[in-house]
Amino acid sequence: MSTLISTVAAGFDVEKIRQDFPVLKQTIHGNPLVYLDSAATAQKPTAVVDAIRKFHEVDCANIHRGVHELSQRSTAAYEETRAKTKKFLNAKSVTELIFVRGTTEAINLVSSSWGRTNVKEGDEIVISAMEHHSNIVPWQMLCEEKGAKLRVIPMNDRGELILEEYEKLLNPRTRMVAVAHVSNALGTINPIRRMIEMAHRAGALVLIDGAQAAPHLKVDVQALDADFYTLSGHKICGPTGIGILYGKAKLLNAMPPYQGGGDMIRTVTFEKTTYNDLPYKFEAGTPNIAGGIGMGAALDYLNRIGLDQIAAYEHELLVYGTAQLEQIPGLRIIGTAREKAAVLSFVIEGIHPHDIGTVLDRQGIAVRTGHHCAQPVMDWFHIPATTRASLAFYNTSAEIDKLAAGLRKVKEIFS
């Protein structure tokens, strides 16, 4: 392997880690797979696959409702993930953690339940110019319904939010600030601690979209003083269709249920239903039990490696990758924030990102091309799309070298 891995502690053995990911062992179009699309979804270690298999083969039963052994086992395993998530995010209580399908559902839950009861005509919701569509559209829908106003924090050419402009947007009408911890399209790590403080001073609540932060950074919702924080299981090496909404208990307690059905009730008559306590009030119907258990195994796996180790290693990869890509003539990196996580988004003059992605795929290199569900970011940079290589702790500097070589080949073909 090449030049990298200097400051990372000797305990971080990427080749050993790669053995935990069977999917990485395959060839694509005759070349070893180079998976650089972890911001879309992270690969799953054997421990996660095994936990899901064990649930289906050994413990399979519905949860919270059976006295029999299998139901007891599956309930315990599912609820254990809630306890693990409490530790992972440093929440005060397990009652503050709601299982959802992922970040998209978490944001929709807050915009629907909290939004419908707390936002009225003339109120304002603040988002940022770099949000994923899932942190734009639900708020836009709420604003349309209520006659409220959506306001947008602008960014600079590096893809950093302009905090002086943010300050100006905050006022007594601001009800909610909803902002990404880490941008999926640019990799920018936003100064959310400071932004939360500023919002609170103005009397607004804050929802942090943590979809791209949870896989890369240690998160402490109490230290941040976040009112709501979201994560998607599939981006932290867990399965799809499961995620977490964290909310402060006093806010969640005051919010009406999001959906009605089984498990979220205490009593039901045709005249009146009373609701269950937190967190179950927000968890109607049979959940993704296997997904929840799989996510628990993913949290264990990440904790075994250590988020600090992951962040340090990925930072080195990012620095190395940035240097390699910058040497390619005509290539421009989109998103050059001073605080950045594992995303390399770029354009190459005269070559469409879809052509870049297709040629790279023939070499076994998986990248994402398009607007990355962040069309306003593309509009801001006056580009239709980018090619995005997103890194994870199982990537190597040798894979970055392959990406750089692959891009040189792209240039040869299209010049």
Using CB under 6 A, list all residues that contact ligand PLP: 102-104, 132, 134-135, 180, 184, 209, 211-212, 232
C-alpha 304/C-alpha 318 separation (Å) is 22
Structure tokens at 407: 């891009």
Active-site residue, 373 included: yes
SS3 389: strand
> Tokens at residue 229, please?
């924080």
- Smaller CB distance to ligand PLP: residue 170 or 211? 211
Alpha-carbon distance of 58 to 347, in angstroms, equals 49
Q: Which is nearer to ligand PLP, 32 or 370 (CB)?
A: 370
Q: What is the DSSP string of 242-278?
A: -EEEEE-HHHHHHSPPSS-STTSEEEE-SS-EEEPPT
Of 208 and 264, which has the nearer Cβ to ligand PLP?
A: 208
Phi and psi dihedrals of 122, rounded to 5? 90, -15
Give min distance, CB of 411 to ligand PLP, in A: 29
For 226, other C-beta atoms within 10 Å of its C-beta total: 25
Please tell me the distance from the alpha carbon of residue 144 to that of residue 136, in angstroms, as a whole number: 12
**Min CB(106)–ligand PLP separation in Å:** 8
Structure-block tokens of residue 114: 């909290």
Of 211 and 359, nearer to ligand PLP (C-beta) is: 211
Min dist CB 132 to ligand PLP, Å, is 3
End-to-end CA distance of the chain: 30
Nearest alpha carbon to residue 186 among 22, 342, 3: 342
> Please, which residue, 282 or 320, has the CB nearer to ligand PLP?
282
The angle at the Cα of 105, spanning 302 to 388, to the nearest 5 degrees, equals 60
Distance of closest approach, residue 240 Cβ to ligand PLP, in angstroms = 8
Cα–Cα dist 366/38, whole Å:
10
Both tokens of 173, joined, read 């009408």
Q: Which residues contact 17 (CB under 8 A, 6 or more apart)?
A: 305, 393, 394
- Which letter does DSSP use for residue 126 in this model? E
Residue in the structure block whose two tokens are 């090449």 = 2
Distance in Å, CB of 108 to ligand PLP, minimum: 9
Task: Output the smallest distance, CB 318 to ligand PLP, in A.
Answer: 17
Place of tokens 């796996």: 301
From 60, 143, 237, 373, active-site residue? 373
Is residue 37 a contact partner of residue 368, using CB atoms and an 8 Å limit? yes
Comparing CB distances to ligand PLP, the nearer of 209 and 314 is 209
Residue 107 beta carbon to ligand PLP: minimum distance, rounded to whole angstroms: 7
The token duo for 59 is: 């413990």
Nearer to ligand PLP, 320 or 393 (CB): 393
Query: Smallest gap, in angstroms, from Cβ of residue 377 to ligand PLP?
Result: 11
Q: Which is nearer to ligand PLP, 115 or 233 (CB)?
A: 233
The C-alpha atoms of residue 169 and residue 172 are separated, in whole angstroms, by 10
Q: Reduced to 3 states, what is the DSSP secondary structure of residue 307?
A: helix
Among all residues, which ones are annotated catalytic? 373
